[in-house]
Amino acid sequence: MNCGPLCEAINEVTEGYQGKDFSHLGMVYIKNDSIFVIEAAGKAVKITPYETFKTYTKEEMFVGRLKRKYRKYIPEAISFSLQQVGVPYDDEYLYDNGKYYCSEIIYDAFLHSYKKPLFDLVPMTFKSPKSNEYFEVWTDYYEKLKMEIPEGQLGCNPGGISTSDKLRIIGTLR
């Protein structure tokens, strides 16, 4: 997903599958013969046709699948996610504030279906690993929101989910 300097800052501080950068993710949802992606993007949680979702990037997209022993939790995770359609996008990137960012909806969907965390929450950082100073893009971003940078707050990110031992990356799409 092309979100410019914010994505670049996220990529600097998160590690994805095989060292790749991940700035967005969603959950595949098949209805009848149509493929959709449930995602938190733009203004809210929404259902996006796969054909639209794949236009978000010119890079390869990675496809992950839960390992067999966790797959039984998928239908309830999808059901939970569908019930969240219309919930506002979490511009603040704060976990559990009644809004969702992309990896947060996935985290909560499986928390709901698995009844305990399937993926990990980790302390978030908005600082450059090179200087230990906040990225300017985050300083400006949170100033506009009139809030403190949530340094150290627990959260999740697409890269972290991509490296989970609960799933396997099964391929790529262009």
Do the domain assignments include residue 174?
Answer: no
Residue at token pair 């994805």: 16
Q: Give the CATH number of the domain where residue 40 resides.
A: 3.90.1720.10
Do the domain assignments include residue 172?
Answer: no
Do the domain assignments include residue 173?
Answer: no
Do the domain assignments include residue 74?
Answer: yes
The answer to whether 1 and 41 are in contact (CB under 8 A) is yes
What is the C-alpha to C-alpha distance for residues 18 and 171, in angstroms, rounded to an integer?
Answer: 13
What are the residue ranges of helices labelled H in the chain?
Answer: 5-13, 50-53, 74-83, 102-114, 136-144, 158-162
Give residue-wise pLDDT tens across range 102-113: 999 999 999 999
Do the domain assignments include residue 171?
Answer: no
Q: What's the pLDDT score for residue 139? A: 95
Give yes or no for residue 170 having a pLDDT over 80.
yes
What is the C-alpha to C-alpha distance for residues 159 and 22, in angstroms, rounded to an integer?
Answer: 5
Do the domain assignments include residue 98?
Answer: yes
Six-digit token pair at 33? Answer: 């013969």
What is the C-alpha to C-alpha distance for residues 92 and 105, in angstroms, rounded to an integer?
Answer: 14
Work out how many domains the chain is built from and give that number. Answer: 1
Q: What's the pLDDT score for residue 95? A: 96
**Domain carrying residue 131:** 5-166
What are the residue ranges of helices labelled H in 5-45?
Answer: 5-13
Q: What's the pLDDT score for residue 2? A: 54
What is the C-alpha to C-alpha distance for residues 24 and 38, in angstroms, rounded to an integer?
Answer: 12
Q: What end-to-end distance do the CA atoms of the chain give, in Å?
A: 13
Give yes or no for residue 1 having a pLDDT over 60.
no
Give residue-wise pLDDT tens across range 38-56: 999 999 999 999 999 999 8
Report the b/e string of 15-53 with b at 16+ CB within 10 A. Answer: ebbeebbbbbbbbebeeeeeebbbbbbeebbbebebeeb
Six-digit token pair at 87? Answer: 């919930």
DSSP code for 54 = G
Residue 32 DSSP SS3: coil
